[in-house]
Amino acid sequence: MNLTRRLDIEQQLLRKHFGPTFRFQGKPGQDDWGAIGRLRTNSANEYVVFVELQGFPDSPPAAWVVDPILTRPSGQHLPAGSHSMHTRGVTDHGHVEVCHYADCNWEPSVTLYKVVLKVRIWLEAYEAYLRTGKKIDQYLAAM
């Protein structure tokens, strides 16, 4: 399947499961090439999520919350590259990447729907962390 057809299917899945706000922006090879949209948690908080598509589907896409900036209960930024918080690096714009698939577990057949679903689950764990102070890995142990 060519990339254009794959992305059409991916966009249909994202919109079907996460609503019409999910759209692709930019073009392959550009810095802003990705999928962006809003996710609402069970507590009705909204987050704008960006999934970078450079190298997709051959490599796992980076994903992060654009808005709001994710913080600890103390107001400090979340730690990047934290196993216990399921975070990866930090983007050029200071957003912490959400860990959704380990590189060794990635397969090109994984859909963006599954990536965004894992980010959605991570957001529920993040909100539980804000309420309780328990690290995110305590909520995502089953993953």
DSSP 62: P
The identity of residue 68, as a single letter, is P
Q: Which fold has domain 3-138?
A: Ubiquitin Conjugating Enzyme (3.10.110)
CA 118 vs CA 49, 128, 143: distances in Å = 12, 15, 9
Q: Domain limits of the chain?
A: 3-138
Each residue's pLDDT tens digit in the chain (143 positions)?
A: 788 899 999 999 999 999 998 999 988 777 789 999 999 999 999 999 999 999 899 999 999 999 999 999 998 989 989 999 999 988 888 899 999 998 889 999 999 999 999 999 999 999 999 999 999 999 987 54
